[in-house]
Amino acid sequence: MTPSSQTTPAPTPLDSLMEQVLAFRDARDWQQFHTLRNLIVSTSIEAGELLETIQWKGDAQIAALLADPPGRAHLEQECADVFIYLLLVAHTAGFDLVKAAADKVRLNETRYPVEKAKGNATKHSEL
């Protein structure tokens, strides 16, 4: 392929979201606080907030939460917080989060072969 015929891939929705996240961060001069350590800590804190949305609830109560628009919106916002921090962790560490996730799925396919893992929750090291 000649340089003139090379095209830049169209931005994906994830690329566009990353641009929005970075623009939000940069407009507030927060990059100075976004060290890898702080971002990982913040991811864990936000994951804890996500966990709080279902803490002490049974399956029926969780189903009711999902059916309740304000409850569902709160769950969506907490998921989004975790997702945004994961994007920032990957960006700051310099890796492609989508590729890392795809690689992990492939690794798990070898760790959890269907013939051994189907229908049970046994850890791969105990299969």
Pick among 1.10.10.10, 3.40.50.300, 2.40.50.100, 1.10.287.1080: CATH of 34-110: 1.10.287.1080
Task: Look at residue 50 in the predicted model and tell me its pLDDT.
Answer: 98
Q: pLDDT band for 32, please (50, 70, 90 cuts).
A: very high
How far is it, in rounded angstroms, from Cα 35 to Cα 106?
29
Domain boundaries defined on the chain: 34-110
47: pLDDT strictly greater than 90 = yes
Distance CA 125, CA 123 (A): 5
